[in-house]
Structure 1
Amino acid sequence: MACHSHHYWADVTLDAVNAYWQDAAAMADLKWEKIFGEMIPAFQRSIASTLNLPAPEQIALAPNTHELIFRLLSAFDLNEPLRILTTDGEFYSFTRQLLRLEELPNVQVTRIPTLPYATLAERFDEELQSGQYQLAYASQVFFDSGVAFPDLLALAERKPETTEMVIDGYHGFFARPTDLGTVADKVFYTAGSYKYLGAGEGMCFMSIPRGCQLRPLNTGWFAEMAELENRAEGVGFGNDWLRFAGATMDFSPLYKALAVLDLYRQEEVTIPNIHRYVQNNQQRFLQAMDNAAHPILNRKNLIAHDLENGHGHFFTFRCGSADAAERLQAQLRKKNVLCDRRQQLLRLGFALYHPESETFERLFT
């Protein structure tokens, strides 16, 4: 039940890794023609179809979302004041990076408390509409609680034009049905294959609004591919994903991700199907939990907001202390239940590979 952190890989990913090895062995440097000419466009089309993005060529790739976000941050002139709006519930990677940036005298960060969730959108929107921020950043589903940011896409749709906005979609992508059609040219959206896609680490992406003219300071040789035919003095940038491209990386995760996407397509497994299936599992879990009257795993300790419509694919419980969370995690491990924790928070995830016959009663006995 740690699938919100690491989904088990589908069997097709083993053949995908072997295929990448064979291509590299047979083609050597010519493999780049296949990767950039066939594999990357196929992945971009699949992601665009999944999220209803109108321009697949605007989807940038990198081994992790931190690389993409730092590349975006590098496009701002740090000689000028930089004001960033975010929440206090963002993932460690972004949180740490902001703390480091705040050591610079001209960077100011405003963090909106996520609690209470019922008023989060209103409080965040009030700051956003002030027009004082160059960058806004928020999670689609918060990594610590599993709660979905209420009305985030509607909020993003009316953001000021002077503010760039990023949605961290890692805990929403391939879990919750997500339609970015109305905000595709307004926001950057980041996610990857490590969690709900089940294709492993190393393949992340960021959608880029069409017409984006930002010039990242952090830029690699992949970005040069857009300028090879029109090389001029200075550093040029293309008008597609290569604007935010980095440098050499291992593309076996790309092969794995494509294999999983193809598997779902062949089996006609859709994200709405997945979401409904997981929600049914969650309801069975809640029923077993309510019947058990567990001292920690109960409604009082469950962090939740609108379980039917406003939640991701994992539940988070307050355990009172980090020691209590560690003890409960160890007790569950003895029952062959894998889960994870963040300090005093214990997280339990749900996935397609939990059978419909699973009652979850073993967690509470």
Structure 2
Amino acid sequence: MYQQYFRRFLQGAAEASTAHAYPPLHMACHSHHYWPDVTFEAVQQYWRDSASLADAKWEPIFADKIPAWQTAVAHTLGLPRPDHIALAPNTHELVFRLISAFDLTRPLRILTTDGEFYSFARQLQRLEEKSGVEVTRIDKLPYDTLAERFERELHRGGYHLAYASQVFFESGVVFPHLLDIVARKPEGTEFVVDGYHAYFALPTDLSRVADKVYYTAGSYKYQGAGEGLCFMSLPEGCRLRPLYTGWFADMAELENRADRVGFADNWLRFAGSTMDYSTLYKALAVLQMYERDGVTVAKIHQFVLAAQRRFLHSMDAAHHPLLNRDNLVYHDLDSGHGHFFTFDCATPERSLELQRELQSRGVQCDRRKQMLRLGFAIYHDGEEDFQQVFR
């Protein structure tokens, strides 16, 4: 029922594989989601506005487009203050801006897990090369005890910053009870939740922790608007002064600049500098389309859950040597799971061989070392049984 939104991409994928023996089956959607057709007109509108308005385009972008997008994101996540949603080209820029707000001349203690995405994990490693930065990584395994182990250390350690993924990027496993942990966090600890693999995939209500969490995500994956637009929600009362700051953060005071660097009491506190806003147009078009048609994250999630169950049924019947429950990292759909499955192929060589095998059958997927990932999307046919994966 959702395929109507993706005619342009689905047709393009089919045309690109005309010489292929199998129809295309895009299962790398946890990495790059197909864009709904409305994004084509949206990016053209951005060009038209830029060409006709030139520098005057900034007024409608900041007065109309950004607030409309913030309102839609806030509605999706249950956030009470749309004007507290900061935007940037990527989440790394926003998180590093947050880290830069700490006094790095004094010891900085950070708590996280060993399952975080590469950009944050790499940044932490680089920070650890500086004296005074101490990082504690909680083992993500076993998942069943992760929440207890993480929260115990959080309250014991006197941490300045805690950072954890809502859905782990390698496995698709949901961090159990993460928002409960945020709700009980110690005073004085800033808490970041990486929601990139959950936003617009899993129903998420941040209303009870909106005054405690910095929630990061973006449009590249499940919202299907492409790269270049990410966000971070700011808790009420945030008074941090990022060292890494840009001229957009001074937008409200351009005419009345003081000797001291000032910061606004809204999202501009974490603003950077000039960026390409074409993805803002695309993302807003997608959100408005879904709002108009009554498509919610909860409905999308139920559609994908049904697809995942059909996949498991076909997998169990196929008896594939690698794609089976023994190698499936996690598959408890009832307790919460992201929109992709991960198979541990034991070695990078075996996962690469399996990826090539699937590509020969028209199945697009991706891998992380020995882990092969297969994702699910609303542009898969509602009756798709995924037997193409196992032939």
TM-score of Structure 1 vs Structure 2, range by shorter chain: over 0.9
How far residue 262 of structure 1 moved from its aligned partner, in angstroms, is 1.1
How far residue 232 of structure 1 moved from its aligned partner, in angstroms, is 1.7
After superposition, where does 1:187-202 map in structure 2 within 5 Å? 187-202=213-228
- Are positions 1:243 and 2:243 aligned together? no
- Are positions 1:231 and 2:251 aligned together? no
- Are positions 1:142 and 2:172 aligned together? no
Moved over 6 A (4+): none
Q: Read off the aligned partner of 2:253 and give its amino acid letter.
A: E
Q: Read off the aligned partner of 1:152 and give its amino acid letter.
A: L
Q: 1: distance between equivalents of 2:210 and 2:282?
A: 26
* Residue number in structure 1 paired with 2:53: 27
Out of 286, 299, 303, the position equivalent to 1:277 is: 303
- Are positions 1:88 and 2:114 aligned together? yes
Number of matched pairs: 365
Query: Residues 68-107 of structure 1, C-alpha deviation per residue, up to 9 Å, x if partnerless?
Result: 0110011011100000000000000000000000000100
* TM-score, structure 2 as length reference: 0.92
Out of 284, 291, 294, the position equivalent to 2:320 is: 294
How far residue 229 of structure 1 moved from its aligned partner, in angstroms, is 5.0
Q: 1: distance between equivalents of 2:341 and 2:253?
A: 47
Out of 289, 313, 330, the position equivalent to 1:263 is: 289
* TM-score, structure 1 as length reference: 0.99
How far residue 305 of structure 1 moved from its aligned partner, in angstroms, is 5.7
- Are positions 1:316 and 2:342 aligned together? yes
How far residue 307 of structure 1 moved from its aligned partner, in angstroms, is 2.1
How far residue 362 of structure 1 moved from its aligned partner, in angstroms, is 1.3
After superposition, where does 1:18-97 map in structure 2 within 5 Å? 18-97=44-123
Identity of matched residues, % = 66
Query: Residues 89-140 of structure 1, C-alpha deviation per residue, up to 9 Å, x if partnerless?
Result: 0000000000000000100000000000000000000011125100000000
Query: Residues 6-34 of structure 1, C-alpha deviation per residue, up to 9 Å, x if partnerless?
Result: 00011111111110011111111111001
Q: Tell me, yes or no, if the aligned pair for 1:274 and 1:352 is still in contact at 8 Å.
A: yes
Q: Read off the aligned partner of 1:123 and give its amino acid letter.
A: R
Out of 231, 235, 241, the position equivalent to 1:205 is: 231
* Residue number in structure 1 paired with 2:8: none
Q: 2: distance between equivalents of 1:47 and 1:5?
A: 20
SS at structure 1 position matched to 2:220: coil
Q: 1: distance between equivalents of 2:263 and 2:157?
A: 28
SS at structure 1 position matched to 2:124: helix
Query: Residues 297-341 of structure 1, C-alpha deviation per residue, up to 9 Å, x if partnerless?
Result: 011111116322321000000001000000000010011000000
Q: 1: distance between equivalents of 2:93 and 2:276?
A: 14
SS at structure 2 position matched to 1:138: strand
Q: Read off the aligned partner of 2:116 and give its amino acid letter.
A: E
Q: Read off the aligned partner of 1:98 and give its amino acid letter.
A: L
Q: 2: distance between equivalents of 1:32 and 1:42?
A: 14
Q: Tell me, yes or no, if the aligned pair for 2:331 and 2:341 is still in contact at 8 Å.
A: no
> Where do 5+ consecutive residues of structure 1 fail to align?
none
117-126 or 222-231, which deviates more: 222-231
* Residue number in structure 1 paired with 2:377: 351
1:305–1:359 CA distance, 2 compared to 1 (3 A): closer
Q: Tell me, yes or no, if the aligned pair for 1:58 and 1:209 is still in contact at 8 Å.
A: yes
RMSD of the alignment, in Å?
A: 0.8
Q: 1: distance between equivalents of 2:252 and 2:209?
A: 25
SS at structure 2 position matched to 1:226: helix
